A and B are shown apart, each in its own frame.
Chain A
Amino acid sequence: MSEARKSSEFWRGVRDQLPLQLGVAPFGLVFGVLGIASGLSEWQTILMSAIVFGGASQVVFAQLWMSGAAPWVVGGSVAVINARHILYSVSVAPYLSALPLRWRIVLGYLLTDEAFAVSIHRFEGAKPDQPVHYHLLGSGLTLWVCWQLSTIFGVQIGATLPPYLNLEFAIPLTFLAIVVPRLRHGPEIAAALCAGLVALVGQDLPWNLWIIVAAVAGIGAGACVDWIRGRL
């Protein structure tokens, strides 16, 4: 396989990923700010972006940690939030299963929402002998670098931002931008409403279990409505 094709595939991945950084960079910035505001140290905040490497789950991690949740609840919540990655993993498996182990480890680590979104598109469109794993490497690394840099920047400027900016409000806004366009059918709407309501009602649950309970309730509601619709 020619080096030129690998390199062009890599840079294509970088190019495809760059526009999405307009959303990733502010999110990383907010996480950096929020990590410090939650009482994490600078190193804990910065290294969490490298170790956990999952936007929504890092935010929830920081918030639960700040509110004194039990370790297993923090870990369990992060796991539930990131369970969607199993779906991504299934989708890319046909293209990556034959790669050497070191490739699969690196690409597994880099498989985020945005990297999956742009690279699966390329995987499905490319000719079979194209080295498309370089596309995922390019898109995944682009996001990784942007996420780390914006976290560091957020940690640095966090203390200087006045609280009235309400910058932490960018987090629910980011999630609204992801969730709302998907609410086009009954099962999705049921999942969202049920999870939201249970999250509010369940605030007093011990150990901050509300997020896990709300997620399970929402998933159950969505699956139920889906099942009923299938029967009609």
Chain B
Amino acid sequence: MIWIIMVVTGLLNFAMRVSMFSGLFQGAISPSLRSVLRFVPIAVLSAVIAAAVFIDPANGAVSLHIPKVLAAAIAAIIAWITQSVIATIAVGLAAIWIIGALI
């Protein structure tokens, strides 16, 4: 079953990537659709971030796990200032290790 889902999602993914130069469409999307698609990465990734930081994986309930929340806040500040993926990951991981060890 997992193989079927994997292949189907892989094909879907490929279809979206190739869509506009596949020759099947005119290669144009409306400005309104474009302005909506613009929010897709932010919305999806924010949802994943919120769940990863504030949800306890053991029971699926909202919980304030201090090391995670603090490390995420520190990483967000680093991301805002440096705009660097490496710096954000490095500082965020260091933060969760240090805070986790202290608490």
Contact residues of A with B, CB < 8 Å?
22-23, 26, 40, 44, 47-48, 51-54, 56-57, 59-61, 65, 71, 74-75, 78-90, 92-94, 96-97, 99, 101, 104-105, 107-109, 111, 164-183, 187-188, 191-200, 203-204, 210-211, 214-219, 222-223, 226
Chain B 1-18 interface residues, beta-carbon cutoff 8 Å to A = 1-10, 12-14, 16-18
Give CA–CA (A107, B58) in the complex, Å. Answer: 41
Q: Indicate if the CB atoms of A182 and B42 lie closer than 8 Å.
A: yes
A87-B38, A165-B97, A177-B84 as given contacts; A200 in contact with B50, CB under 8 Å: yes
Interface size class of B (residues with CB under 8 A): 35 or more
Known: A26-B89, A199-B51. A215 touches B40 (CB 8 A): yes
User: Is A93 within 8 A of B21, CB to CB?
Assistant: yes
Q: With A23-B85, A90-B34 in contact, do A169 and B92 touch (Cβ < 8 Å)?
A: yes
**Which residues of chain B have C-beta atoms less than 8 A from A168's C-beta?**
52
Contact between B36 and A214 (Cβ–Cβ < 8 Å)?
Answer: no
B8 surroundings in chain A (CB, below 8 A): 75
Interface flags, B18-29, vs A, CB<8A=1, else 0: 111111000111
7 pairs, A vs B, C-beta closer than 8 Å: A89-B16, A175-B45, A195-B46, A199-B51, A217-B43, A218-B39, A218-B46
Q: Which residue of B lies closest to A48 (CB)?
A: B6
Q: Which residues of B contact A204 (CB under 8 A)?
A: 60
Contact partner, B43, options A22, A180, A222, Cβ 8 Å: A222
Residues on the B chain within 8 Å of A179, using CB: 41-42, 45-46, 49, 79
The contact of B37 among A87, A93, A178, by CB within 8 Å, is A87
Whole-angstrom distance between the Cβ of B7 and the nearest chain A Cβ: 6
Q: Which B residue sits closest to A222, measured CB to CB? A: B39
Q: B77: shortest Cβ distance to chain A, in Å?
A: 8
Q: Which residue of B lies closest to A197 (CB)?
A: B50
Asked whether A214 and B88 contact (CB < 8 A) given A104-B18, A104-B21, A180-B80, the answer is no
Asked if B75 and A173 make an inter-chain contact with CB atoms under 8 angstroms apart, the answer reads yes
B47 interface residue per 8 A CB criterion: yes
Interchain CB contact under 8 A, A90 and B44: no
Contact between chains at A219 and B50 (CB < 8 Å)? no
- In the bound complex, residues from chain A placing their C-beta under 8 Å from that of B14 are 108-109
Given the interface pairs A94-B27, A180-B80, A197-B50, the reply to whether A111 lies near B17 with Cβ below 8 Å is yes
Name the residue on A nearest B89 (C-beta): A173
The 9 A-B pairs of least Cβ separation, nearest first, read: A218-B43, A108-B18, A196-B50, A222-B39, A214-B47, A177-B88, A89-B20, A199-B47, A172-B52
Would you call B79 and A181 a contact (CB within 8 A)? yes
